[in-house]
Structure 1
């Protein structure tokens, strides 16, 4: 009789459970069959296609590259069960000509970190361009030129942790409206096959501040209705996104969803992926905007736009909208004036100084007895406070601007003034188009970036009236941005305005030239033959006094003869 090994029941059950768990673990383990790469990989530019099986979702998984005992995380732009696309970030460990091995790292049901079967190799391109700061960089992607195209994102922006101007934020503990501090404002790379030596920009008398561009790892996406937004919600959660907020805007006729990208995925990569999936939606970053107040040049100012002294009823029955800092409505300049104000700054966030918004409001509604004479004192001002203070800067972002635009559209204002600027944003652009489609004029300041500054948005958006600033002698303001998107010029240097606390102040900048054009478009609405925005703008351009090149002055100095006579 053959001897047999008998196991007691508890032990046999334990072994069975172990075998089942082990088989499940093996079955679920990701396996890489091959990778698709260029002949060699350029960090900061190349992506790798990874095919295989059992990839599942990106939850508790990541694509890594081994460099000795060091792991380099790859930035995933697509993740499905059989295909992963990963972007190769810039990293000092990626030495030219070296070979590296790629795997998927995942967490088991027991919490252990394991590597996928089937590692695959790729090589780094043997030659890298060295820029003037001796940092290894790659040739950046080709960018579009001109103010009419989109402002390109910083070269080599492989992820917010390396090349963005902001630190990351924790959406669980931090207000999503409030971006963190600037880290770095320099791009990397040389945009030419023939490498040319970069020259330093000419010195200026104005101190140039680092400027924030967007909130890191936040992506905005529009839907037509809540039903479409709900479908989007279920899909993006499976892809590893976190939904920060979702809101229906009746005035704009859209639902706005703000997402936080999955770990290791930059905003640029997420936008590329989402645009491919949702071609009918406007998708972009949560862009950051700054005010266009500048540096005064002298203490003289005269009315030069042929605007007759207005009566107290000038603008009565008309509504002008402002998205800016809050207005000091208790200032004596606003006695007996109509101001409806709403703040969009959430609790716990420091509001911006009221100076900028108060100044613009006084250009329109100022009571002459206070020393400030407004050009449309009878109008009703709808003031949306969208600017907050962060690290001594006055900032707003796309989310707050969209909330403000929706509020102004719902209240049927006639003109919207936007004296701020930043990068182009598809979601903001779609919202402004909605306002324009309803016959609302949108005016924006051209920017204070100087003659060689980049085009700023929303001023450079088609349909928006872009206004530049002039000195008392009708010369261009020294810090005004030049560009083919400029429509008109107006006084913008040493303008006497109200200052919070019943004080007055001289201010300069394209921020303070835009309000004059906004006021002109508003009062022209009373003319029977100028009912549409386009007819009013055409009239202003015909009346404007030519001063020079269109790139600098647009059609010239604003002239509004007899616009508001008693």
Structure 2
């Protein structure tokens, strides 16, 4: 039974649907009793049910958001949420605009994104034509262009409670890191001082709990030069791909060397190009894998090539059961039992991969400050979790293990 406990405890962290596999090094399970086998199957089934429940909750939340904001949000051809009545095009031959106009499309704007050398054309879709149908039509009329919806991205973490903390003294900062770090999120509150916050959405910047928590975690981990791109503001369609691309351009132009993103959405051509352009400028992008569970689709931007994908663990080094997945995984960092500040400056207990990403980003900034190969520096400070070496649950290991905990 001791063996059973050892195997069952981390099993939820090893679930990756479809097809749950239980590690069995050297045929160890061959000697486990039928009772133990049944118990392991029960744990496996429970983890599957939890993953399915997370996926259902995700869809309920998206459907509720859509019902409440049908004037600004609709589903694209893949069923993902996006800004209503608009498409984004890159690589569009402007000679095809009259053809698009004849079909009912309008050019809402043609923009060159600051800092990224990326041009994007916003197209208004024909009146009364569903976004999904408009996508298909625009692609037929302009086959050489990359055309996508302006997909929405969602924050991947939440506050639990104040946890009995009083005052900001409980959030002690680590050694000072002077490398510029950028944040794509909501704006931090006034008690979380950053170098600059700039808005890229209607009403932005507006102080948010999530943005405050992310910025405060960066500060508690030692980052001192932080800029924030608020991509939400008061816009029901905030967190869209174009706002995030513009935010990346601003942060790159301002000198950020690391950019952390604790948002999750579907793959999007404009944002993918913006991420690639950011990386070509020598900037490292860090992103959370999300909290929709292992049955959810791969998280973006964490799944884009070269992005440092981060998952979360609790104070015992166990993977969060709600942690999503990406097409690759680089590191783990604390994502539960950690504390940051909300928009009012109140210390708050946090949970989610959202809060692991900025802690990993701070360590990456410290590695850049030290010089040399940042990947080698980070790998040297990780604590290996799970099976020996890199694995799909914890990546290359745990960073910042003691960060942002109650003092």
**Superposed pair shares fold, TM > 0.5:** yes
Give the direction of change, closer, same or farther, for the CA distance of 1:420–1:483 in structure 2 (3 Å limit).
closer
SS across alignment from 2:153? strand
Shift of 1:516: 1.3
Match of residue 406 from structure 1 = 249
Match of residue 121 from structure 2 = 257
Which structure: greater strand fraction?
1
CA distance in 1, matches of 2:67, 2:245: 23
Q: Contact (CA 8 Å) 1:296, 1:493: kept in 2 or not?
A: no
Cα deviations across residues 100-152 of structure 1 (Å, max 9, x unaligned)?
Answer: xxxxxxxxxxxxxxxxxxxxxxxxxxxxxxxxxxxxxxxxxxxxxxxxxxxxx
Asked if 1:556 corresponds to 2:397, the answer is: yes
Match of residue 200 from structure 2 = 344
SS across alignment from 2:158? coil
Match of residue 317 from structure 2 = 474
Match of residue 261 from structure 2 = 418
Give the direction of change, closer, same or farther, for the CA distance of 1:342–1:352 in structure 2 (3 Å limit).
closer
TM-score (norm 1): 0.52
For structure 1, the residue ranges without an aligned partner over 5 or more in a row are 1-163, 170-178, 188-211, 302-307, 366-373, 531-535, 562-566
Q: Contact (CA 8 Å) 1:219, 1:285: kept in 2 or not?
A: yes
CA distance in 1, matches of 2:131, 2:105: 11
Shift of 1:239: 2.3
For structure 2, the residue ranges without an aligned partner over 5 or more in a row are 1-65, 166-171, 403-407
TM-score (norm 2): 0.71
Residue number among 166, 170, 183 corresponding to 1:322 in the alignment: 183
Alignment of 1:281-300 (within 5 A): 281-294=145-158, 296=160
Give the direction of change, closer, same or farther, for the CA distance of 1:213–1:491 in structure 2 (3 Å limit).
same
Higher RCO (C-alpha 8 Å, min separation 6): 2
Alignment of 1:97-496 (within 5 A): 169=71, 179-180=72-73, 213-223=81-91, 229=94, 231-263=95-127, 265-276=129-140, 278=142, 280-294=144-158, 296=160, 310-311=174-175, 314-316=176-178, 318-329=179-190, 331=191, 334=193, 338-347=194-203, 354-365=208-219, 374-377=220-223, 379-389=224-234, 395-496=238-339
Give the direction of change, closer, same or farther, for the CA distance of 1:238–1:183 in structure 2 (3 Å limit).
closer
Cα deviations across residues 517-556 of structure 1 (Å, max 9, x unaligned)?
Answer: 11112121123322xxxxx235424543232262222222
Cα deviations across residues 29-77 of structure 1 (Å, max 9, x unaligned)?
Answer: xxxxxxxxxxxxxxxxxxxxxxxxxxxxxxxxxxxxxxxxxxxxxxxxx
Q: Contact (CA 8 Å) 1:540, 1:560: kept in 2 or not?
A: no
Q: Contact (CA 8 Å) 2:302, 2:326: kept in 1 or not?
A: no
Cα deviations across residues 73-97 of structure 1 (Å, max 9, x unaligned)?
Answer: xxxxxxxxxxxxxxxxxxxxxxxxx
Which structure: greater helix fraction?
2
Match of residue 30 from structure 1 = none
Shift of 1:253: 1.0
| Deviation beyond 6 Å, 4+ runs, structure 1 | 164-167
CA distance in 2, matches of 1:340, 1:551: 36
SS across alignment from 1:552? coil
Match of residue 22 from structure 2 = none
Shift of 1:291: 0.5
Shift of 1:363: 1.3
Shift of 1:235: 3.5
CA distance in 1, matches of 2:230, 2:161: 28
Shift of 1:475: 0.5
Shift of 1:502: 3.2
Cα deviations across residues 388-420 of structure 1 (Å, max 9, x unaligned)?
Answer: 3467xx941112112211111221210111100
Cα deviations across residues 150-187 of structure 1 (Å, max 9, x unaligned)?
Answer: xxxxxxxxxxxxxx878654xxxxxxxxx34x799x97
